[in-house]
Structure 1
Amino acid sequence: MSEEEKSKKGKSLWGPLLAVPAVFFLAPLGIGLYLTHPFPAKSTKNPMDFGLKFEEIEFFNRKDQVKLSGWWIPATSKQSKKTVITAHGYMNERAMEGIEGLQLAKVLSKQGYNVLMFDFRNAGKSKGRTTGLGYFEKHDLSAAIEYSIQKKKQKMIALLGWSMGASTALIAGCEHPAVSAIIADSPFSDLEAFLKENLSYWTKLPKKPFTPFIYHSMRKLLKIDPTEVSPITNVKNTKGKSFLLIHSKTDEAIPYTESEKLIQSISSDNHKELWLTEDGKHINSYLLNKEEYEHRVIQFLNKYLRVG
């Protein structure tokens, strides 16, 4: 074999060898970077499009001073001391346009509830470049609760969240004494366990060997410990709250068994309800069951929202 042939053979061997670390290390790092720093979703509609009066508001996360933006939608009938704060899902925005969240806000407003809809960090008009999958967002939601109490003088606070926002609502709602009622639509029960089991749904890559690499790259990029985002731990240790969990049996993104685990972990010191819907994709229960969804939510709030 000539020297030229040997050189070509050596080069052909180096190519595949160099491609291995690129696939198993650089690709997971890139995916982790995208999942933790997604492009912010923007709202294209506002409450006025639904005949609602509203106020553009801003407040700050007290932990790291990230500026958050939202809407204050007052109850249409009269001045109210009852407020529902919504918490949107991952890669979503305050209006939850994909499931017509503003239509639900209109129903709540007509029923005598103020509604605060806001963007988590790195979403909509809020600042920040990192999405924390609940780790940072629980502090964002706590800031919204404090805004309602201090700036708007509210006495009764309920939280209504979807997906990541549902899990965040369970954490922040259990931790904040002013919150008495929590509605969680399609939550995960524990972030670490959920990512290790279901990350492949979001990455579209096989669980083995990619999930461990992507999971650890996300941890490094976020500089968080996912074990600290555990709604099931929060609900186990809370008393005197009321919970309504909603989940579709055909949810592929977050299995309905996550809500079943949560509801089973809520102690008898709290009121708890679980509504499992049929044939809906992730967080589509409202789209497919508008009248029943509105009825159940209003009935729950009318009965269990009280001074925290």
Structure 2
Amino acid sequence: MRLKRVIGITTAALVVVVAGGALAVGDYVYTSGTSVACAVNADDVNNKPEHFYTAPSGEGPFEGPGWEKWVGYDLSAWWLQDYSYDAVKIPVADNIELAAWWIDAKNETSNKTVIVTHGIGTSKQDFNTLLPTAMLVKNGINVLLVDQRDAGESTCTDGRHSAGQEESSDFAVVADWLVQNEGIQPASIGMFGVSGGAIATSLVPAKSDKVSAFAMEGTIFDFNAAATQEVEFQGFPGFLWQFALTSARLFHGVNLSEVDVKDSIEAAGNRPMLILHGDIDQRLDYQSSVDFYNYAKAVGADIELETFENADHTEGMLTETERYAETLASFFKNSLSD
């Protein structure tokens, strides 16, 4: 009897130790895998709406030699040198402000406005956020270009992203701010997110009725699959994702799967959605956008998928710039009210 009790206690202790060890590993994966710099990246510091440049060698949005052809690529035709902009700070939670640039498109006949945001680990000063911003402004659409929390010039809370969960809640408040402070009606407000910003954008329909159209440069559909892929990209075994998810909840109070993509698609109702995605994207699997599109169609959502062949991560805006600009601008022109 005594031996059985000892074995039982020992087994329970081992379970606790193993579980504790797994959570510790999960916490390490979470804190390191979601870490972002609360700053503007060094290669983006000089980028502004009036002049911006592609990333230098080795710093592009995707890995490998394929980026080299875009180093020093001339984007001057898209510089917003004839448009003024104002720096604003938008309070979204206690002691948290998002830094943004308000760019007036000088369109006296329309008040269409799009919230634009960047990918994970970048800021509003990244070329692949400034370029689509210019596409919209030059087509007469106002832009509020926003740094997410823990990015660029916005408040640094913990130096980690939350896979779009906290960020999408912030953008619901940003939409409220546009209504209350700029007098823009919800029917005139859209949102466009690049990469990680697209993930946040995909969750906004579930959190706000003040945004009437959503465009995404790449996105995810199966969050667990995408998170596993991201953990592997960061150099960890994929199965550790589940430990990271649990550790985020227990130790940091962050639920990385709080709002499900499917629920947000359904919450969009008849509000239009657009996905633009390169079919050889290394960072966000193109198939994920296809799955997103297929599910949205199946539930009767208003959605378009624009594919850029042989384009890597965010590369479609460079390989077919004019088509990208026409698609993006036309979508918001047709989806938003003046």
Specify the TM-score bucket, using the shorter chain as the normaliser: 0.7 to 0.9
For 2:209 and 2:218, locate their aligned partners in 1 and report how far apart those are by CA, in whole Å: 23
Aligned: 1:114 with 2:142 = yes
1:304 positional shift: 1.6
1:61 positional shift: 1.0
The corresponding residue for 2:292 is 262
Instruction: Indicate the SS of the match to 1:136.
Output: helix
RMSD: 2.6
The answer to whether the Cα contact below 8 Å between 1:25 and 1:213 also exists between their aligned partners in 2 is: yes
For 2:274 and 2:120, locate their aligned partners in 1 and report how far apart those are by CA, in whole Å: 20
The one-letter amino acid of 1:61's match is: V
The answer to whether the Cα contact below 8 Å between 1:69 and 1:118 also exists between their aligned partners in 2 is: yes
Q: Structure 1 residues 69 and 79, CA, compared in 2 at 3 Å: closer, same or farther? A: farther
Aligned: 1:152 with 2:182 = yes
User: Which of 79, 83, 91 is residue 113 of structure 2 equivalent to?
Assistant: 83
The answer to whether the Cα contact below 8 Å between 2:266 and 2:301 also exists between their aligned partners in 1 is: no
For 1:38 and 1:61, locate their aligned partners in 2 and report how far apart those are by CA, in whole Å: 19
1:77 positional shift: 4.1
1:139 positional shift: 1.5
Instruction: Describe the superposition over 1:42-74 as per-residue Cα deviations: whole angstroms up to 9, x where unpaired.
Output: 052222333131000011114x44111110000
* Identical columns (%): 22
Number of residues paired by the alignment? Answer: 283
The corresponding residue for 1:182 is 214
Q: Structure 1 residues 274 and 252, CA, compared in 2 at 3 Å: closer, same or farther? A: same
Q: Report matched runs for 1:75-224 at 5 Å.
A: 75-78=105-108, 80-97=110-127, 99=128, 101-127=129-155, 128-129=157-158, 130-155=160-185, 156-195=188-227, 197-208=228-239, 210-224=240-254
1:26 positional shift: 5.6
The answer to whether the Cα contact below 8 Å between 1:186 and 1:245 also exists between their aligned partners in 2 is: yes
- Structure 1 unmatched ranges of 5 or more: 1-19
The answer to whether the Cα contact below 8 Å between 1:119 and 1:126 also exists between their aligned partners in 2 is: yes
For 1:38 and 1:301, locate their aligned partners in 2 and report how far apart those are by CA, in whole Å: 30
Q: Structure 1 residues 216 and 126, CA, compared in 2 at 3 Å: closer, same or farther? A: same
For 2:175 and 2:108, locate their aligned partners in 1 and report how far apart those are by CA, in whole Å: 21
For 1:262 and 1:297, locate their aligned partners in 2 and report how far apart those are by CA, in whole Å: 18
Aligned: 1:73 with 2:103 = yes
For 1:226 and 1:170, locate their aligned partners in 2 and report how far apart those are by CA, in whole Å: 14
The answer to whether the Cα contact below 8 Å between 2:23 and 2:246 also exists between their aligned partners in 1 is: no
Instruction: Describe the superposition over 1:199-254 as per-residue Cα deviations: whole angstroms up to 9, x where unpaired.
Output: 3333223325x444444444445422233132222112331211111222212222
The corresponding residue for 2:282 is 252
- Structure 2 unmatched ranges of 5 or more: 1-17, 52-78
Instruction: Indicate the SS of the match to 1:122.
Output: coil
The answer to whether the Cα contact below 8 Å between 1:36 and 1:222 also exists between their aligned partners in 2 is: no
The one-letter amino acid of 1:225's match is: N
The answer to whether the Cα contact below 8 Å between 1:249 and 1:277 also exists between their aligned partners in 2 is: yes
1:187 positional shift: 0.8
Aligned: 1:290 with 2:321 = yes
For 1:75 and 1:25, locate their aligned partners in 2 and report how far apart those are by CA, in whole Å: 50
